[in-house]
Chain A
Amino acid sequence: MDNQNPTYFFLQNGGETAEIIRNTEWSKTSIGRPESWPESLKNTLSTMLSSKFPMFLWWGDDLIQFYNDSYRPSLGNNGKHPTAMGQKAVDCWPEIWDFIYPLITKVLSTGKSVWYEDLLLPIYRNGELEDVYWTFSYSPVRDDSRHIKGVLVVCNETTEKVNYNRILKQNKDELEFAINAAEFGTFDFNPETKKFSANSRLKEWFGLMSDEEILLSSATASIAESDRQRVIDSINLALQFEYGGKFDIEYSIINPKTKVTRIVHALGKAWFDHTKKPYRFNGTLQDITSHKNAAEELLKSRQLTDLTIKSMGLGLFNVNFADNSIDYSPEFSMLLTGKVKKNLKRKDFLKYVHPEDLSLRAKAVKKGINTGTFFYTPRVIWDDGSVHRIAVSAARIINSSGSNSIFSGTVADITVQEQNRIALEQAESKLQHAKREADTLFQNVTDSSPTGLWLSNKEGELTYFNKTLIEFTGQTGEELLNGGWSSVIFKEDLKNAIISYTDAIARRAHFDVLFRARKFSGEMIWCRAAGDPFLDADGNYAGYAGFCMDMDEIISGRKAMAESQERISLMIEQSPVAICLFTGSEMKIEIANDIMISYWGKDKSVIGKPMEEGVPELKGQPFMEILRDVYRTGETYYGRAMPADLNVKGKLSTYYFDFTYTPIRDSKNEIYGIMDIAIDITDQVAAAKKLDETRAALAGAIELAELATWKLNLDTGMITCSPRFKHWLGLPEHNLPKDEIFYLIAETHREKVIHSINEALRPESSDFYDYEFPIINKITGQVRIIHANAQVLHNKLGVPEYLSGTAQDVTKERELQEELKFKVKERTAELHAANTELEINNQELKQFAYIASHDLQEPVRKISIFTDMLKNNLEKNPEKAMTYIEKIVGSTRRMENLIKDVLGFSQLSGIAKNYESVNLNLVMQDILSEFDLMIEQKNAVIKVEDLPVIEAIPLQMSQLFTNLISNALKYSRAEVVPYIIISSEMLSEINRQAIAPDLIAGKYFKITITDNGIGFSQSYSEQIFNIFQRLHGKDEFAGTGIGLAMCRKILQNHSGQITANSMEGIGTSFIIIIPLYQEKS
């Protein structure tokens, strides 16, 4: 223990870790005792230790560690704490050293921060290697002399957040998506406060304001009056523990503002605490208006059927057992009372029911309320006193009001059928009776039998007719026996009757034949004749005995039934909706209209076949099972949007149907068939599916594009962010006040963004908002550039309600663009420079061409001419000839100089520029020694100040100063002592900008060569630098006109400049601005 550690200021407010720092023996570490620590370290520690944010510091060459209390939990139990304090980083973090060491080195060497978000860095703690996620930044810390000496780590363990977010995101996304996709309204009711919260969709349906909490009573006010109490009761039931807390109801709501009516299906669940008290009740509402409309359509089509039934002489009625109201068709009244009466009440009709059948009725109705259908056949006593038997058949109907006490049904007069039935029964029993009698015919044949009886011999010749038959035909016994019986049989039926008879006799078999016969009264009736062979006492075949009876009543009854079936079939065939009738337990397709057949994709041949044979692809699909159930239970089945795979036009596809299977009963109330009414809603289902798919695709697209979404509620000023947007912004919540989010927009853009949002909200604007700006992550400080798009959403009244939009991270694109822009700029500058150089080169080339045609020609021409003249004078005037020779020599020398200079000049451009450190003092010494003779001749005084050492091409520096000194000496005034001063000074940036604004910033020297020579007009100060520009006649001053052009070229080569100040008769100053260093290119 280093007990001498006093209370250091930077260890105040530091908690546990400060205490450890205080007690650490720092003298044993490479950073030594705290007294010797630099101020910056102490300041950093002070900040760190008082921060509630987890922080960590590495300091010095050994990367000695410090951390604060907030960081401490990340080290875990049984881990690195407290040994990590004062430890060398390499000793502390072996498991992640390979990862963090390069980062630390990078920060230390570049001085730039690095950061990572939710990075997995497993560390050893709590006795094991744990997967730990971190969001952290490494920043450089400088010591008192501004050298980077440490790395500060600001970090945050995000393990929990990462795990939690992963799960939460999944769940929430799925739920939100499901709710949105299904267009559910959601509610959450607090039974204690009687208030609930709801999503905006539900609020819109109920016409509620977007308040936080809503009183239940304000919502129930929007429920259709007829449904309101039922809903309230349902809610109250759901809130009772004993009822299981379930809520499942359909009702209508009417938006109080827009008056839009919706039918909704509400599903909910109440949650109870241990005292069985409800504490929460939440659920969803689904808009099923369109479903209901489909159901209503089905209902309508059923009503149409009813209409057809009505035309078959059936009475129709709708009865509501809840309020005893009844609607009925005129036929109904006719069948019950014998008259068409209007405005009768239900109890009025009850008066007509036969008193003996009232109990029958009560029993049937009671059963009906339980099972949904009822049937009974009471007698009614008409006003005229006549008794009629009717069949009453009804089923519960589902209508949009949701009431379950309404029944709809038919009544039919079954008196005739009843009578027929009774007649048939009597006839059958008579037949039985007759057959019994025939057995003992020999003894018991009497004329008193009500049935016609006859006997024949072995050959079938009739031998006996009883009295009934004689009365029936009006013929005598004699006449009948002599073949008269055949004359009463209707001709068309005679042949068949005789064949049946003779055929039976030949086979000694029973026969039974129907034929029409004319009664004595002239009436044509249906007769049934049947007979069996009989034996004599010896047991030998003796002939036939049989009966013949009037079947007219029975046959007519059957025919009427067949006719009515035909009418049903006609009705079905002409129906605008698909209808078919299945009969029997095998579901024979009895009747099916063209629409139904087209749904099946079949033809008329299916009629008469069992369903599974006619539409074989339905085998294995649920329909057969349902049909059987309906057949068995008698309960109507309502199918909604059910898929059916049907083979239509040779292609097996899925179609969707709304349909009803209604059991059909005969007059005995036995189910004999099922009426199938169907509507093809494949298109609607397909549309709904497509919508779902589009939504899914949209969600997919949003995910793929890595879009974040957000929504500003203009009422509340809250912004809701998608998980991605929240992550970008580093927000603690999804839902935050807009100002908190605006605060995270980079300050440079904040005002503009707010302004443009307000612009988009102005009524005359396009409602569309499109903007790009940087955002700053609240936690990590990371800057992202996002491209935000938004659209104003209005409520039904046209008032802006939301600004909803997407955001895209375009940081990388923008960075690339910036880089590209920069590169383009750079390249443009390069191109520009190249162009300029090319232009200069072009200019030089032109001047070269000029010299080729002019200045170089001049000495050649002279030599040529003087040679001519030399020839002419060689003999007659040798003295003169001599001068020509001198002139030729002079021209030759001029040409030589010219060629040399041109070469020198041309070498200034295009050759690789090898810059070296050049001491200009030495260069000047060499030059002056070359001009020694001339200086002596002219008595010139040359003063050279201290010149700099610069980076330059040595030869060109020599050429530059040679030309300038040579000019200064050449253009001296004869009358004064030539005086030349060469001075130099370092140029400040401000002066550089003033003198040479075209040059790039940097260190420059200004070198001035001043003479007191002849000077020139300042107006020529630029012209003189042009190649072959001479201000003086060739005879006054020798020269090629290239020197100054060379000087300018040399300074171009060195990124400098040369200018001249001059005054005629006073002198000239050449001012050179030349950089200290040459840029490496």
Chain B
Amino acid sequence: MKTVLLIDDDAEDREIFSDSLLSLQLGVRFEEAENGFEALVKLNSAGFKKPDLIFVDLNMPVMDGKQFLILIKQDKNLKDIPVIIYSTSSSLGDKAFALEHQAVLFMTKQYSIIQLQKELKQTINDFLNL
């Protein structure tokens, strides 16, 4: 079973994300972390199963999405996991940063749950070959 990790400080957003993902019934496991630092701690802990796809918010306290992206791409064991930026931002600067640091996709947080589900389905299909 494939695992998806979402890193977001906003608890409601995590809830919306997991609800949408699970409602798609794609047979994907959901993991979450509140910020980049917590995510790295989890990813490096022995019992934690490496996710197959990571969604990361940009604006977070402690360690934001950008710092996380830089660090994970420097980690031999983790750098091959595809990372998708999942943010409210739609600024060109953020998109350029993401591309430059080998994020595979830049997803802007949606205003409609249907739209979110549609995008999630497409993305999971594309990157997890389901």
Cβ-based interface call for B121 (8 A): no
Q: Please pick, from B13, B91, B114, the residue contacting A853 in the complex, using a CB distance under 8 A.
A: B91
Distance from A447 Cβ to chain B, minimum over Cβ atoms (Å): 157
Cβ-based interface call for B112 (8 A): yes
Chain B window 26-56, contacts with chain A (Cβ cutoff 8 Å), 1 for yes, 0 for no: 0000000011000000000000000000000
Cβ-based interface call for A738 (8 A): no
Q: Please pick, from B10, B19, B111, B114, the residue contacting A1034 in the complex, using a CB distance under 8 A.
A: B10
Q: State in angstroms the CA–CA spacing of A293 and B53 once bound together.
A: 116
Instruction: Report whether A853 and B88 are in contact in the complex, using a CB–CB cutoff of 8 Å.
Output: yes
Instruction: Report whether A853 and B90 are in contact in the complex, using a CB–CB cutoff of 8 Å.
Output: yes
Instruction: Report whether A1033 and B9 are in contact in the complex, using a CB–CB cutoff of 8 Å.
Output: yes
Q: State in angstroms the CA–CA spacing of A858 and B19 once bound together.
A: 18
Chain A window 856-870, contacts with chain B (Cβ cutoff 8 Å), 1 for yes, 0 for no: 011011101100110
Cβ-based interface call for A346 (8 A): no
Cβ-based interface call for A887 (8 A): yes
Cβ-based interface call for B60 (8 A): yes
Distance from B31 Cβ to chain A, minimum over Cβ atoms (Å): 17
Query: Which B residues touch A862, using CB under 8 A?
Result: 12-13, 16
Task: Using CB atoms, name the residue of chain A closest to B14.
Answer: A1035
Instruction: Report whether A1031 and B91 are in contact in the complex, using a CB–CB cutoff of 8 Å.
Output: no
Q: Known contacts being A854-B89, A857-B88, A887-B12, is A1031 close to B61, with CB within 8 Å? A: yes
Q: Known contacts being A853-B88, A868-B114, is A861 close to B9, with CB within 8 Å? A: no
Q: State in angstroms the CA–CA spacing of A1032 and B34 once bound together.
A: 10
Instruction: Report whether A861 and B90 are in contact in the complex, using a CB–CB cutoff of 8 Å.
Output: no
Query: Which A residues touch B111, using CB under 8 A?
Result: 860-861, 864-865
Which residues B99-116 have CB closer than 8 A to chain A?
109-114, 116
Cβ-based interface call for B59 (8 A): yes
Cβ-based interface call for B24 (8 A): no
Instruction: Report whether B89 and A872 are in contact in the complex, using a CB–CB cutoff of 8 Å.
Output: no
Q: Please pick, from A858, A887, A1031, A1033, the residue contacting B88 in the complex, using a CB distance under 8 A.
A: A858
Cβ-based interface call for A354 (8 A): no
Distance from B111 Cβ to chain A, minimum over Cβ atoms (Å): 4
Q: Tell me what chain A mostly uses at the interface: helix, strand, loop, or mixed.
A: helix
Query: Which B residues touch A858, using CB under 8 A?
Result: 10, 88
Interface centre among A853, A854, A1035 (most CB of B within 10 A): A854
Cβ-based interface call for B11 (8 A): yes
Q: State in angstroms the CA–CA spacing of A166 and B30 once bound together.
A: 109
Instruction: Report whether A861 and B109 are in contact in the complex, using a CB–CB cutoff of 8 Å.
Output: yes
Q: Please pick, from B34, B90, B91, the residue contacting A1033 in the complex, using a CB distance under 8 A.
A: B34
Cβ-based interface call for A269 (8 A): no
Distance from B118 Cβ to chain A, minimum over Cβ atoms (Å): 13
Task: Using CB atoms, name the residue of chain B closest to A860.
Answer: B111
Instruction: Report whether A869 and B88 are in contact in the complex, using a CB–CB cutoff of 8 Å.
Output: no
Instruction: Report whether B19 and A869 are in contact in the complex, using a CB–CB cutoff of 8 Å.
Output: yes
Q: State in angstroms the CA–CA spacing of A51 and B74 once bound together.
A: 92
Which residues A913-940 have CB closer than 8 A to chain B?
none
Q: Known contacts being A854-B89, A865-B116, A1030-B61, is A1035 close to B109, with CB within 8 Å? A: no
Instruction: Report whether A1034 and B112 are in contact in the complex, using a CB–CB cutoff of 8 Å.
Output: no
Instruction: Report whether B19 and A854 are in contact in the complex, using a CB–CB cutoff of 8 Å.
Output: no
Q: Known contacts being A853-B88, A1031-B61, is A865 close to B10, with CB within 8 Å? A: no
Task: Using CB atoms, name the residue of chain A closest to B91.
Answer: A853
Interface residues on B, range: 20 to 34
Query: Which A residues touch B13, using CB under 8 A?
Result: 862
Q: State in angstroms the CA–CA spacing of A1035 and B61 once bound together.
A: 11
Q: Please pick, from B9, B89, B110, B116, the residue contacting A1035 in the complex, using a CB distance under 8 A.
A: B9
Query: Which B residues touch A850, using CB under 8 A?
Result: 91
Query: Which A residues touch B61, using CB under 8 A?
Result: 1030-1033
Query: Which B residues touch A854, using CB under 8 A?
Result: 59, 88-89
Q: State in angstroms the CA–CA spacing of A1035 and B8 once bound together.
A: 11
Q: Known contacts being A853-B90, A854-B89, A869-B19, is A1033 close to B60, with CB within 8 Å? A: yes
Task: Using CB atoms, name the residue of chain A closest to B89.
Answer: A854
Q: State in angstroms the CA–CA spacing of A887 and B19 once bound together.
A: 15
Chain A window 832-873, contacts with chain B (Cβ cutoff 8 Å), 1 for yes, 0 for no: 000000000000000000100110011011101100110010
Distance from B67 Cβ to chain A, minimum over Cβ atoms (Å): 14
Chain A window 780-815, contacts with chain B (Cβ cutoff 8 Å), 1 for yes, 0 for no: 000000000000000000000000000000000000
Task: Using CB atoms, name the residue of chain B closest to A856.
Answer: B88
Number of A-B contacts (CB under 8 A): 51
Distance from A69 Cβ to chain B, minimum over Cβ atoms (Å): 89
Distance from A887 Cβ to chain B, minimum over Cβ atoms (Å): 6
Distance from A544 Cβ to chain B, minimum over Cβ atoms (Å): 147
Instruction: Report whether A869 and B113 are in contact in the complex, using a CB–CB cutoff of 8 Å.
Output: yes
Query: Which A residues touch B109, using CB under 8 A?
Result: 861
Instruction: Report whether A861 and B19 are in contact in the complex, using a CB–CB cutoff of 8 Å.
Output: no
Q: State in angstroms the CA–CA spacing of A986 and B91 once bound together.
A: 47
Query: Which A residues touch B91, using CB under 8 A?
Result: 850, 853
Distance from B12 Cβ to chain A, minimum over Cβ atoms (Å): 6
Query: Which A residues touch B90, using CB under 8 A?
Result: 853
Instruction: Report whether B12 and A868 are in contact in the complex, using a CB–CB cutoff of 8 Å.
Output: no
Instruction: Report whether A853 and B89 are in contact in the complex, using a CB–CB cutoff of 8 Å.
Output: yes
Q: State in angstroms the CA–CA spacing of A754 and B18 once bound together.
A: 90
Q: Please pick, from B9, B89, B110, the residue contacting A865 in the complex, using a CB distance under 8 A.
A: B110
Task: Using CB atoms, name the residue of chain B closest to A857.
Answer: B88
Which residues A870-926 have CB closer than 8 A to chain B?
872, 887
Query: Which B residues touch A1034, using CB under 8 A?
Result: 9-11
Q: State in angstroms the CA–CA spacing of A858 and B108 once bound together.
A: 12
Q: State in angstroms the CA–CA spacing of A1033 and B11 once bound together.
A: 9
Q: State in angstroms the CA–CA spacing of A28 and B34 once bound together.
A: 95
Q: State in angstroms the CA–CA spacing of A853 and B94 once bound together.
A: 12
Chain B window 43-86, contacts with chain A (Cβ cutoff 8 Å), 1 for yes, 0 for no: 00000000000000001111000000000000000000000000
Distance from A737 Cβ to chain B, minimum over Cβ atoms (Å): 78
Q: State in angstroms the CA–CA spacing of A1031 and B60 once bound together.
A: 8
Q: State in angstroms the CA–CA spacing of A1032 and B10 once bound together.
A: 11
Query: Which A residues touch B34, using CB under 8 A?
Result: 1033
Q: State in angstroms the CA–CA spacing of A974 and B110 once bound together.
A: 36
Query: Which A residues touch B35, using CB under 8 A?
Result: 1033
Q: State in angstroms the CA–CA spacing of A861 and B108 once bound together.
A: 11
Q: State in angstroms the CA–CA spacing of A62 and B110 once bound together.
A: 89
Q: State in angstroms the CA–CA spacing of A872 and B16 once bound together.
A: 13
Q: Please pick, from B11, B62, B88, B114, the residue contacting A861 in the complex, using a CB distance under 8 A.
A: B88
Task: Using CB atoms, name the residue of chain A closest to B9.
Answer: A1033
Instruction: Report whether B113 and A1035 are in contact in the complex, using a CB–CB cutoff of 8 Å.
Output: no
Query: Which B residues touch A872, using CB under 8 A?
Result: 113
Q: State in angstroms the CA–CA spacing of A197 and B1 once bound together.
A: 125
Instruction: Report whether B110 and A861 are in contact in the complex, using a CB–CB cutoff of 8 Å.
Output: yes
Instruction: Report whether A868 and B9 are in contact in the complex, using a CB–CB cutoff of 8 Å.
Output: no
Task: Using CB atoms, name the residue of chain A closest to B90.
Answer: A853
Query: Which A residues touch B11, using CB under 8 A?
Result: 1034-1035
Task: Using CB atoms, name the residue of chain B closest to A1037.
Answer: B61
Task: Using CB atoms, name the residue of chain A closest to B11.
Answer: A1035
Task: Using CB atoms, name the residue of chain B closest to A1032.
Answer: B61
Distance from B100 Cβ to chain A, minimum over Cβ atoms (Å): 20
Q: State in angstroms the CA–CA spacing of A1035 and B19 once bound together.
A: 19
Chain A window 1008-1046, contacts with chain B (Cβ cutoff 8 Å), 1 for yes, 0 for no: 000000000000000000000011111100000000000
Distance from A1045 Cβ to chain B, minimum over Cβ atoms (Å): 16
Q: State in angstroms the CA–CA spacing of A72 and B34 once bound together.
A: 98
Query: Which A residues touch B59, using CB under 8 A?
Result: 854
Query: Which A residues touch B62, using CB under 8 A?
Result: 1031, 1033
Q: State in angstroms the CA–CA spacing of A627 and B111 once bound together.
A: 126
Query: Which B residues touch A1033, using CB under 8 A?
Result: 9, 34-35, 60-62
5 more contacts with CB within 8 A, not counting A854-B88, A864-B112, A1033-B35, are A853-B89, A861-B111, A865-B113, A868-B112, A1030-B61
Chain A residues engaging chain B, CB cutoff 8 angstroms: 850, 853-854, 857-858, 860-862, 864-865, 868-869, 872, 887, 1030-1035
Chain B residues engaging chain A, CB cutoff 8 angstroms: 9-13, 16, 19, 34-35, 59-62, 88-91, 109-114, 116
Q: List 8 A-B contacts (CB under 8 A).
A: A858-B88, A868-B114, A869-B16, A1033-B61, A1033-B62, A1034-B11, A1035-B9, A1035-B11
Q: Which 10 A-B residue pairings sit nearest by Cβ, starting from the closest?
A: A868-B113, A864-B111, A1033-B9, A854-B88, A1035-B11, A861-B111, A1030-B61, A857-B88, A865-B113, A1032-B61
